[in-house]
Amino acid sequence: MNKKTKTPFFHIVKRGEIPRWESIMIHAIALILALILCAILTTLLTGQNPIDVYATMFEGNFGTERKTWILLHLLAVLLGISLALTPAFKMRFWNIGGEGQVLIGCMASGAVMHNWPQLPNALLLLLMLIAALAAGALWGFLPAICKAKWGTNETLFTLMMNYVAIQITAYYTIRWEVPKGSGKIGIINQASHKGWLPSIAGQQYLPTILVVALLTVLLYFYLKYSKQGYEIAVVGESERTARYVGIKVEHVIVRTMSLTGALCGLMGFLLVSGSAHTITTTLSDGRGFTGVMVAWMGKFNPIIMIFTSFLISFMGNGAQEVASRFHLNHSFSDILTGIIIFFLIGCEFFVSYKLSHNKKGKEE
């Protein structure tokens, strides 16, 4: 034995399946550590008692009925986008173009809404929906067909497509700006409410929330029990196996990515028609990226994703309240979100692997 060789203090062992409760415990511990770190950080920055800070966060989300609706809406949009991204990720297709796919959906439905306000409302809404689905599907189809045909790196492709979508939106924002020179389109069809999703029970956000709830259930069954869902899972686990059992991998890739794109487009439609009623380049607000993290942390399981997107929406919305009450900058919530995600993805390691201590003097 060479004298220079050092024995490390521990080595890493791959775990087999671990019981579900143990996995939940690991995540819970990571989450608690993240929240403690966030609390320490907030206290350092605001000089407030951390319990007060979390109480403020809670108030920011549940203080008034309106705040709760805002939270639910944020949750629904983030969850919807994450769900839309899930089929592609489950196939191990690294689509980080959710941002662009949502935005082009917004753009397409906004364009229909802006250009044909004279159509009957139901027809207009239908056309907006179709336009959004088609535009989103196109944004998903392009990288998928290149990946299937030539093996083009999909991460980089979809990333670039985001900016194509952003610039197209920026172009039309200036073309259609009202008033001229403002750089904003303003609320479309403010007076006639044409192309606006109707409020249900007086709640503007309720249609969006219901659609996302339905989407959650549908996707759960699609991924878990349908033949196509199974094909996605096989391609994701091992492309070679998929080929061996006769799955047309290229076909599955293109189909699944078009589906993901179309669902992102649907979220774009909901954003424009259900709440924003305008088009801006920031409508998606980074949620195409956050959705990637939510989908990944939720292990592509729609039910777990409800929880993760709730957590992120809660922290984000709460941090806004903390920021405004203690006169902090609103970017504060991004820092907290970042920290929580670092901990949650870091803890995955302890689910898959375990550290075992090397006893001194014993060599393998």
Partner 1 sequence: MFDIVSFFPRAVVQSVPLLCGSTGETITEKSGNLNLGIPGIMYVGAISGVIGSFFYEQSLKASGSTINTFLGIAIPMVCSILGSLLMGLIYCFLTVSLRANQNVTGLALTTFGVGFGNFFGGSLIKLTGSEVPSIALTQTHGCFVHKLPLAAKTGWFGKMFLNYGFLVYLAIIIALIAAYVLRHTRLGLNLRSVGEDPATADAAGINVNRYKYFATCIGSVIAGLGGLFYIMDYASGVWSNDGFGDRGWLAIALVIFTIWRPNVGVLASILFGALYILYLFIPTGANAAIKEFYKMIPYVVTLLVLVTVSMRKRRENQPPASLGNSYFREER
Our finding on whether 138 is near partner 1 (CB under 8 A) is no
278 within 8 A of 177, measured Cβ to Cβ: no
Our finding on whether 186 is near partner 1 (CB under 8 A) is no
In the bound complex, what is the minimum distance in angstroms from residue 176's beta carbon to partner 1?
9
Instruction: List binders of partner 1 among 18-57 (CB under 8 A).
Output: 45
259 within 8 A of 197, measured Cβ to Cβ: no
Q: Which of 64, 68, 115, 155 binds partner 1 (CB under 8 A)?
A: 155
Q: Which of 178, 210, 345, 356 binds partner 1 (CB under 8 A)?
A: 345
Q: Three-state DSSP class for 13?
A: strand
In the bound complex, what is the minimum distance in angstroms from residue 58's beta carbon to partner 1?
21
Q: Which of 167, 182, 192, 238 binds partner 1 (CB under 8 A)?
A: 167
Our finding on whether 10 is near partner 1 (CB under 8 A) is no
314 within 8 A of 137, measured Cβ to Cβ: no
Q: Which of 156, 178, 210, 217 binds partner 1 (CB under 8 A)?
A: 156
Q: Three-state DSSP class for 233?
A: helix
Nearest residue (CB) to partner 1, 173 versus 258: 173
In the bound complex, what is the minimum distance in angstroms from residue 1's beta carbon to partner 1?
17
Q: Which of 25, 39, 138, 170 binds partner 1 (CB under 8 A)?
A: 170
In the bound complex, what is the minimum distance in angstroms from residue 204's beta carbon to partner 1?
28
Six-digit token string for 266: 């649907």
Q: Which of 9, 21, 150, 225 binds partner 1 (CB under 8 A)?
A: 150
Instruction: List binders of partner 1 among 262-321 (CB under 8 A).
Output: 286, 289-290, 292-293, 296-297
Going by C-alpha positions, the residue among 232, 214, 226, 203 that lies closest to residue 80 is 214
In the bound complex, what is the minimum distance in angstroms from residue 19's beta carbon to partner 1?
21
Task: Determine which helix (DSSP H) or strand (DSSP E) holds 84, and give its type and residue range.
Answer: helix 65-90
Six-digit token string for 135: 């535009």
Our finding on whether 178 is near partner 1 (CB under 8 A) is no
Distance CA 349, CA 342 (A): 12
Phi, psi of 152 (to 5 degrees): -60, 140
Contacts of 91 (CB under 8 A, 6+ apart): 232, 235, 236, 252, 253, 256
Residue 194 C-beta-side C-alpha neighbours within 13 Å: 19
In the bound complex, what is the minimum distance in angstroms from residue 181's beta carbon to partner 1?
9
Nearest residue (CB) to partner 1, 129 versus 297: 297
Our finding on whether 175 is near partner 1 (CB under 8 A) is yes
- Per-residue CA distances from 321 to 73, 109, 264, 327 (Å): 16, 32, 29, 10
Six-digit token string for 58: 């809670």
Nearest residue (CB) to partner 1, 196 versus 332: 332
Going by C-alpha positions, the residue among 217, 219, 239 that lies closest to residue 229 is 219
Going by C-alpha positions, the residue among 283, 243, 287, 232 that lies closest to residue 92 is 232
In the bound complex, what is the minimum distance in angstroms from residue 155's beta carbon to partner 1?
6
In the bound complex, what is the minimum distance in angstroms from residue 70's beta carbon to partner 1?
20
Distance CA 43, CA 52 (A): 10
* Binding footprint of partner 1 on the chain (CB under 8 A): 12, 14, 45, 94, 96, 146, 150-153, 155-157, 159-164, 167-168, 170-172, 174-175, 286, 289-290, 292-293, 296-297, 327-329, 331-335, 337-339, 341-342, 345-346, 348-349, 352-353
